[in-house]
Amino acid sequence: MSNCKDITLRQKIIVSPFDHQTCLDELPLIMQAAQDASSINAAGPMLPAPTIVRPGDPNALHWLGMTMVGNERKLLID
């Protein structure tokens, strides 16, 4: 369509690999994500303070969000 400069289209077109209904279903979620992202300062977003976890630390797995259940490492559930 690069050579079709004189064509005027008077209806909306959607370029997407999904069908129309899927796009309509996803649109509110995309708008919510954009609204949530607008409150983040792009110049300096708030990040958690760095944490140093030493190999001999008895709470090392806790800092990594894990725990021992029996002989297996499992994700810590809050």
Alpha carbons 28 and 44: distance in angstroms, whole number: 27
Residue 15 lies inside a defined structural domain of this protein:
no
- 56 and 50 in contact (C-beta within 8 Å)? no
Backbone angles phi, psi at 45, to 5 degrees: -65, 150
Please list the alpha-helical segments (H only) found in the chain: 20-38, 60-63
Residue 36 lies inside a defined structural domain of this protein:
yes
Q: Which residue has the higher pLDDT, 24 or 3?
A: 24
Counted domains in the chain? 1
Query: Binning pLDDT at 50, 70 and 90, where does residue 6 land?
Result: low
Query: Binning pLDDT at 50, 70 and 90, where does residue 31 land?
Result: very high
pLDDT at 8: 74
26 lies in which domain range?
20-75
Residue 1 lies inside a defined structural domain of this protein:
no
Beta carbons within 10 angstroms of residue 67's beta carbon: 13
Alpha carbons 71 and 78: distance in angstroms, whole number: 20
